Structure 1
Amino acid sequence: QIEMVISQGIIQILTNLLMVTAIVVALYVLNWWLALIMTVFVVPLIFLVRLFAAAQRQAFRDQRMWMARINAYLNELITGVAIIQLFNRQRRNMEYFDQRNSGALEANLRVLFWYAVFEPTVVLFNAVTITAIIWVGGGASLDGAVSIGTLVAFISFMQRFFWPIRELSERYTMIQGAMASAERIFGVLDAPEEVVDSEGARPLAGVRGDIRFDHVWFAYEPENWVLKDVDFTIPAGQKVAIVGATGAGKSTTMRIMVGLTPATSGTTEVSGRRFADLPNPGLEVGVLL
């Protein structure tokens, strides 16, 4: 949707905006007080568009959120299908998937609801405005205040005015969807770094490759220790296998080893340098080499 807005939507939106501006100028030139009557109906329409935009944006956010949950859970099911069958969890996992699917269905229905309400609202304002212009302009024409030709031309321009408005309403829906997608993308890009380089951090000058954990403790939650007083040294070039039960801290040890997660307490070193004294990219290169 972001690609469609950039490649197609922007040009059409600018074209329609220019057309609307030109038609408004022409309407005020034809008859300024009839144009004021039209403005009385257009201003509430603009207010409603803003309300619809907020509701549509939230509906699109929910839609993207549920689709992301479905895709993530589906990936887990596919990659872990052997374990699911081994523990006979097919029915339970299907129930979890149905819950996510139901949430996505409700979110999609809300998107369709606001789309179904939005465009008919624009059409309704179009019909009401033209009816009001015919009613007022027809009476003025009978009194001789407005000529028949001016009234016909004004109504013709009015119809042309609401046509790009309807197209803009369709593009507006596309924009709301694209903005909801962009919010999720920038939410990831703008996420704060979990590990921040310390002041004076310098890259490794010489990489030997030995790794040392000196009485390392780590907890994701206070007092719920994953690693307790871990102490070991891995010489450069040595092959080491980390073996343990699920939840024993194997992945956490590797995350600390490459600098993705800082230890809660204790000292970690690579090539004789403390992890805390190394910039994150330099630490990763040092461990890999």
Structure 2
Amino acid sequence: MESDDQHPLLDLLDIRSSGEEGVQVQASSREDWQKEARKLELQGKAEQAEAIRSRILQDQTPPWPVFNARGVEELTRKIFIDQVVGNKWRQQLFEYAAFYDAPELSERLAVEGRFKPAGHFLAQRPRIVTNRLAAYSRRQFHEVWADCDRYGLEHRTPMNQTPLMAAARAGNVPLVEALLEKGARRDARDHLGRNAAHLALREAFAHPQFAQNALPALWTVLAPLSLDLRIGDRLVRLERHQAEYFLVQSIWALIPITPVEDLLMLGFNREVIEHAWEFMPEAVLPTFRKKRAICILRLAI
């Protein structure tokens, strides 16, 4: 648009100013910029997306420590090698073990780390998980939006989850939908390589009520339409309607508490996977697809 209404080109085109006020341009909101950054990211324009987040959105760094692979490594070194005094670090590692369902780590903490509360893993785990997901379980999202405004839509919680991942694990379908509407990334992963769909699926494996009530809606909006797997020198695409797709997603969701880069060999007992599917709703895993997946399992394992 030409701001100079006396520009010679306007005379050449025989365009005259009407004398009316110019077009009022509405400033883009923070949410608009978040969506634009996500759109650029999907187009492969990571630098432009990062420029929006750093220059326009100006997201702050969260004030809490994030227990990603590096954070957990530092924590375990302090406790088991440096043997730091005090229970602050031990409590943090215990909460991490509880949140990620790692009883072996909790047992080591109780014995080697001499942290008695870790000996009550099964009793304490539900409380710790509930506390860590409290803000993402509520019907009111004020606390979540406040954190997203300060630290960005993709900031990490202390347990190394994005708000979308935490909301998915909490089974909060309205919050998941609201975050997606704002441009949250479905493909963001934790240090074990799991995304929001994997976390919802893993939760459904352990809790039949979650599987029946929350999983169908979550799976619809979170699960990608396809997966690309490299097998040797071939690239194989699995579609969401295929039994093989759900089998691969299930295995990924069941990955134990080991960073992906350290998984030199990962094996699964067939009965474990079949048990995980016991309460899968028809909307997520139709009977005919489940039978085919079980046949594949029995041939492969």
Name the larger-Rg structure.
1
Of the two structures, which has the highest relative contact order with CA contacts closer than 8 Å and spacing of 6 or more?
Answer: 1
Higher helix share: 1
Taking structure 1 as the reference length, the TM-score comes to 0.23
TM-score (norm 2): 0.22
Select the structure that is richer in strand: 1
